[in-house]
Amino acid sequence: MTARRFLSDLSLTVCGLAVLVFLLLPVLVVAPMSFSDAKSLEFPPPGFSLRWYQSLFGSDIWVEAGINSLVLATISSTIALVCGTLAAYVLTRGAFRGRRLLEANFMAPMIVPAIITAVAHYIAFARLGILGTFHGLVLGHTILAVPYVVLIMQAAIRGFDIRIEQVAATLGASRLTILARVVLPNLWPSAAAAWIFAFVLSFDEVVVTLFISGAHLTIPKRMFAELIIQVNPTITAVATLLIAFNLLALAVLLLVSRRGRLFERGY
């Protein structure tokens, strides 16, 4: 029985490592190619050079796309955090008819395929007259990010002792005051994690952006356009920076989660 369990654990470990290597292979290829001195995509790189990073940061189009992506992700993730937190609190603590239906509506963008969501955004925004505008793009990204914020904040609010809220209510605090001055100060790690998650989601979004952005450029949209025209090695530099950015976001997320656990323990 012990030998069988050992073989089972060993096979599971080997399969896990094989999947991990398979997922990391593109990164292990793309990252070295971004430092290549070749004039086209070539692996392994014949020599070391920063020419593609110089080409990236020397391009006004790429710089504009990067600034747009940062501004868009910051605004949409912040709005999504506010709206998603309010919705999560109402869905968790509220008791009203249709609550399950409302919760399912919030979760819909996570379930519906991206292309269907993009077409729905296109039709709705065209009728509203905001198709191709920056605030329409912000609204689209916010709609995509809110469900993830709701999911994270619902779990955090469920884990918060409701008796503390009840004590605040007996002292005359309103629901909004309880949320702002009692709940959120104790759930800031979850709120920070939700914001980071929404930021990364917005920064990497491409399908909905292609449908509703109009002339506004973002990093993923620019990458998609470049790949349609030609396979420019500058793409490898952009991809490497995006990988580094996502890894940094993951590290910050883990740090925030660790600080949150220490905060809950009173350290």
Q: Please compute the mean of the pLDDT values over residues 218-242 and round it to a whole number.
A: 79
For the chain, the average pLDDT equals 81
The answer to whether residue 94 scores a pLDDT higher than 90 is: no
Does residue 247 lie in a domain region? Answer: yes
Q: Please compute the mean of the pLDDT values over residues 143-163 and round it to a whole number.
A: 86
Q: What are the residue ranges of helices labelled H in the chain?
A: 2-33, 51-57, 60-93, 99-111, 114-128, 134-158, 162-170, 175-178, 184-186, 188-204, 207-212, 219-229, 234-265
Does residue 122 lie in a domain region? Answer: yes
Place of tokens 């819909």: 108
Q: Enter the pTM of the model.
A: 0.80
Q: What is the pLDDT of residue 6?
A: 67
Q: What is the pLDDT of residue 242?
A: 80
Q: Which of 240, 226, 230, 227 is nearest to 62 (CA)?
A: 226
The answer to whether residue 228 scores a pLDDT higher than 90 is: no
CATH assignment at residue 168? 1.10.3720.10
Does residue 142 lie in a domain region? Answer: yes
Q: What is the pLDDT of residue 78?
A: 93
Per-residue model confidence as pLDDT tens digits over 18-56: 888 887 777 777 777 777 777 776 677 777 777 778 877
Place of tokens 């709940």: 183
Segments forming the whole domain that contains residue 172 = 74-265
**Distance (Å) of CA 213 to CA 123, 132, 198, 204, 207:** 13, 5, 18, 14, 10
Does residue 192 lie in a domain region? Answer: yes
Which range (2-11, 170-179, 216-225) has the least confidence? 2-11
The answer to whether residue 98 scores a pLDDT higher than 80 is: no
The answer to whether residue 127 scores a pLDDT higher than 80 is: yes
Other C-beta atoms closer than 10 Å to the C-beta of 35 total 17
Other C-beta atoms closer than 10 Å to the C-beta of 254 total 11
Structural domains of the chain, count: 1
The answer to whether residue 267 scores a pLDDT higher than 70 is: no
- Where does residue 174 rank: exposed (0-12), middle (13-18), buried (19+ CB within 10 A)? exposed
Q: What is the pLDDT of residue 51?
A: 77
